Copies of this chain bind each other. A is one copy, B any other.
């Protein structure tokens, strides 16, 4: 499947140099995990001074969350295929590929964010709000095409598609595959969005 999708259309909040430091952080997280990540190694990998890293991200939690969010921003797809099913498959495949590759980072972010209200706030405003708007936009387009009714969209469950796929990615026993995405979209998400409404 080749979805018609624009990648990374949200503007980056970072300078090119900052983006390099975050990319180095994400790469080290993927290679060595969260526990072994040090600001020294990030600075060395990106050929920067430790002071440069600390000035921008004073704690390891802030650095890791920023790297995670920037990685997701760059990997995000904004599908606009003209079909709800194809849009959902494109979103689900992108989420699965990214969350599986960066599962150690996702687990670390969940732990760090749970410990620190400021990180929680950052996660909400710099990440979740945008993801929610993206999914709502895909669903509103489907309403516009007459594929689903507006009343079928649930604010309570807006993150069902990413949520279950991320759960599968961070549970190390059964990482999700393209088969998972297809079964989820065809047998769960679309039947839910097209269910008979009272």
Indicate whether A43 reaches chain B with its CB closer than 8 angstroms.
no
Interface mask (A106-128 → B, CB under 8 Å = 1, otherwise 0): 01101101110000100110001
Interface mask (A51-89 → B, CB under 8 Å = 1, otherwise 0): 000000000000000000000000000000000000000
Contacts of A11 in B (CB 8 A): none
Interface mask (A128-165 → B, CB under 8 Å = 1, otherwise 0): 10000000000000000000000010101101100110
Q: Select which of B104, B108, B156, B188 is within 8 A of A183 by beta carbon.
A: B156
* Cβ-defined contact, B120 with A114, below 8 A: no
Indicate whether A168 reaches chain B with its CB closer than 8 angstroms.
yes
CA of A103 to CA of B183, assembled, Å: 28
CA of A152 to CA of B114, assembled, Å: 37
* Cβ-defined contact, A180 with B160, below 8 A: no
Indicate whether A16 reaches chain B with its CB closer than 8 angstroms.
no
Shortest CB-to-CB span from A170 to chain B, Å, is 5
* Cβ-defined contact, B113 with A110, below 8 A: no
The list of the 4 closest CB pairs from A to B, nearest first, reads A191-B195, A163-B167, A167-B167, A114-B172
* A positions within 8 Å CB-CB of B: 33, 103-104, 107-108, 110-111, 113-115, 120, 123-124, 128, 152, 154, 156-157, 159-160, 163-164, 166-168, 170-173, 179-180, 183-184, 187-188, 191-192, 195
23 A-B residue pairs with Cβ-Cβ distance under 8 Å, sorted by A, are A33-B115, A107-B110, A108-B111, A110-B172, A113-B173, A114-B170, A120-B173, A123-B173, A152-B187, A156-B183, A157-B183, A159-B168, A160-B184, A163-B163, A163-B168, A163-B171, A164-B164, A167-B167, A187-B192, A188-B188, A191-B192, A191-B195, A192-B192
